[in-house]
Amino acid sequence: MIYPITTLQWLAKLISFDTTSRHSNLALIDYINQFCQSLNLTPRLSFNLAKNKANLFVSIPANDNNVKTGGFVFSGHTDVVPVDGQAWDSDPFVAVVKEGKVYGRGACDMKGFIACCLAILPNIVKLSVEKKLTKPIHLALSFDEEIGCLGMPFLLTDLQNQGIMPDYCIVGEPTMMKMVTAHKGIQTFRCRVQGKAAHSSLTEQGVNAISYASQVIGFIDDLAEKLKQQELKQQESKQQESKPRDLVQGFDVPFSTLSVGMIKGGIATNIIPDFCEFSFDFRNLPHVLPTPIIESIRDFVKTLSEQMQNKNPNCYIELIQDCQVPAMNDKESLALQRLIENLVDDKRRHKVAYATEGGQFTNFGVPTLICGCGDIAQAHKANEFVSIEQLNKCEQFLINLVTMTAVTNNYGN
């Protein structure tokens, strides 16, 4: 089989796989698996419970044949968001190069980064064969990042079972090749309210699901404002005491947030609704523990649910957690930051409100930074693109990073 050679060729091939999260990613994983095997590498696959999706982890050994300890992980997710209802100017699963940009679903989020990694993989293998790698290089490709970072726990569990522990990780989410050192965590929930239908003229015979849902929403909104004011006050107090504000400095929204995103319920104005469902998310700063906030919502829901059951034993409120992605802090990555600042144009430490798999790596014990090609503003949109200039910068960044590993053994320690 003839495989792509350049980053552009790899990106075109990767875009051609429809890896929307609702579909399997096995065709893409199998293709990359065969490519790695053609380089005499032995990838590890970890599957979801249904066995229709897989992560891929492959190691290029150091000069002592070590693949288990140390080295860098270059990490990216293989799934993409849907294109349903979007007005694309071209087939989203056919790469189109126009005016210095590559268009296609996943071009920047984040198949562009993966393409850069695969394009330089043969060169890394050559360094390994020549015994020039002082520490191993790893590539981690995951599934279902877009729907809650569901694939990475399977991969990390496999690494733990195998005793594989890298030194550092670069997650290649689109940052315009800027260094992101921390991000918020996210937890998403669905709140389902089961009431009792009745004619709207007979309110005492029904239990209004929308009314009870609105009370929960009101509680969440009030809690969001209290949390905001509390955290801002704490930050102001630390500033007055001349204490550093490193924990929040750099975040565009410097406090934890609660936000209701979707709601549905009711079938007619003159019918008391017997069902309502809404969803919300909680995004916490790295130093803020989410458990007390979520427990306060659960306690309020429990109290309301008991009130409903006093009216009708078949009525209740149910809180369902859909995803939980930990925040990524910058406490353990200072040495990595100093190393990476020599390889990027922008030396500043950026912090973002969106979540990535970086928090899962840091919780695993691997200091991690987010740095990749493309602009997050282009992600998830129609006519998603990454510029060729960004791809070139990313490829050179990875080459320079590997060169540090292979030649100078500079790990920032």
Q: 147 lies in a domain?
A: yes
- Tell me what pLDDT residue 280 has: 98
The predicted-structure confidence for 332-363, as pLDDT tens digits, reads as follows 899 999 999 999 999 999 999 899 999 999 99
The mean-pLDDT minimum among 15-19, 40-44, 129-133, 383-387 falls in 129-133
Question: In terms of residue numbers, what domain contains 198?
Answer: 185-324
Whether 329 has a pLDDT exceeding 70, the answer reads yes
Do residue 71 and residue 160 come from a single domain? yes
The predicted-structure confidence for 199-225, as pLDDT tens digits, reads as follows 999 999 999 999 999 999 999 999 999
Who's near 175: CB < 8 A, 6+ residues apart? 350, 370, 371, 372, 376
Do residue 172 and residue 303 come from a single domain? no
- CA separation for the pair 167, 401 (Å, rounded): 13
Residue 369 Cα to chain centre, angstroms:
13
Do residue 18 and residue 151 come from a single domain? yes
Domain boundary among 295, 324, 353: 324
Whether 108 has a pLDDT exceeding 70, the answer reads yes
Whether 226 has a pLDDT exceeding 90, the answer reads yes
CATH assignment at residue 320: 3.30.70.360
- State how many domains the chain has: 2
The predicted-structure confidence for 396-409, as pLDDT tens digits, reads as follows 999 999 998 776 66
Helix (H, G, I), strand (E, B) or coil at 362: helix
Do residue 255 and residue 337 come from a single domain? no
- Tell me what pLDDT residue 246 has: 53
Q: 312 lies in a domain?
A: yes
The predicted-structure confidence for 18-59, as pLDDT tens digits, reads as follows 999 999 999 999 999 999 999 999 999 999 999 999 999 999
Do residue 154 and residue 165 come from a single domain? yes
The mean-pLDDT minimum among 265-269, 294-298, 310-314, 406-410 falls in 406-410
Whether 324 has a pLDDT exceeding 90, the answer reads yes
Do residue 244 and residue 312 come from a single domain? yes
When pLDDT is averaged across residues 100-118 and rounded to a whole number, the result is: 98
Query: What pTM was computed for the model?
Result: 0.91
Residue 90: name the closest of 108, 111, 104 by CA. 104
- Tell me what pLDDT residue 251 has: 86
Domain boundary among 324, 353, 380: 324
Do residue 177 and residue 191 come from a single domain? no
- CA separation for the pair 230, 243 (Å, rounded): 17
Q: 2 lies in a domain?
A: no
Q: 411 lies in a domain?
A: no
Identify the band that residue 234 occupies on the pLDDT scale cut at 50, 70 and 90: confident
Do residue 383 and residue 297 come from a single domain? no
Q: 225 lies in a domain?
A: yes
Do residue 157 and residue 227 come from a single domain? no
Do residue 267 and residue 172 come from a single domain? no
Q: 47 lies in a domain?
A: yes
- Tell me what pLDDT residue 1 has: 82
Whether 241 has a pLDDT exceeding 70, the answer reads no
- Tell me what pLDDT residue 404 has: 86
Q: 1 lies in a domain?
A: no
When pLDDT is averaged across residues 97-105 and rounded to a whole number, the result is: 98
Do residue 203 and residue 296 come from a single domain? yes
Q: 413 lies in a domain?
A: no
Whether 240 has a pLDDT exceeding 90, the answer reads no
Domain boundary among 303, 324, 345: 324
CATH assignment at residue 173: 3.40.630.10
- Tell me what pLDDT residue 43 has: 98
Do residue 310 and residue 174 come from a single domain? no
- Tell me what pLDDT residue 233 has: 87
Residue 188: name the closest of 267, 260, 251 by CA. 260
DSSP 184-218: -EEEEEEEEEE-B-EETT-GGGSB-HHHHHHHHHH
